[in-house]
Structure 1
Amino acid sequence: MKLGHFLSMIPFLGMLFSLPLVNRVEPFVLGLPFFMFWIVLWVILTTLIMGIVFKIDPANQEGGDTE
């Protein structure tokens, strides 16, 4: 499950450490200031990454009992 733990850290680290680097208004992307687009992008990426973590988690495999 080490891969799942690593993947779970990516959104946290991406949001925490990248925000000071992208803190600007221009350029506009899809009509949003860059900073707001960056946050929306990470929300979408977090959803995708957590879906992958769910799929690779052995507790969610068919026939896998955790009890």
Structure 2
Amino acid sequence: MRPIHTLALIPVLGVLVAPFFLNRIDPFILGMPFLLAWLSLMLVLTSIVMACIYFVDKRTGAHGQNDMEGAQK
């Protein structure tokens, strides 16, 4: 596992651990209770983090043709 892959822990911890500390109704953000707004933010953040990991791996050549599972040699 590469060090950049540890970024994937941020959204996981944000969804699984943070609600224990952020479970409140006020303040409202965009008309949503705080916890719902937080989980929506984590959904968007997950996509951004996964895109960053993908592009860093692509730039360093980690997605080579021979590295993929089931690829023809």
Q: CA deviation at 1:10?
A: 1.4
1:51 maps to what in 2?
51
Identity of matched residues, %: 37
Identify unmatched segments of 5+ residues in structure 2. none
Letter of the 1:33 counterpart: P
Higher-Rg structure is 2
Q: Which has the higher contact order (CA 8 A, sep 6+)?
A: 1
Aligned match of 2:34? 34
Structure 1 residue 16 displacement after superposition: 1.2
Q: TM-score, normalised by structure 1?
A: 0.82
The offset of 1:19, in angstroms, is: 0.8
- CA–CA separation in structure 2 for the residues paired with 1:45 and 1:3: 18
Alignment of 1:3-14 (within 5 A): 3-14=3-14
Give the aligned CA root-mean-square deviation in angstroms.
1.3
Give me the whole-angstrom Cα distance separating, in 2, the residues matched to 1:16 and 1:25. 18
In structure 1, the gaps of 5 or more residues are none
Post-superposition CA distance 1:13-67 (Å, at most 9, x none): 12111111110011101111101000000000001000001111221xxxx2215
How many aligned residue pairs are there?
A: 63
Which amino acid in 2 is paired with 1:54? Answer: Y
Counterpart of 1:12, as a letter, is V
* TM-superposed deviation, 1:3: 2.5
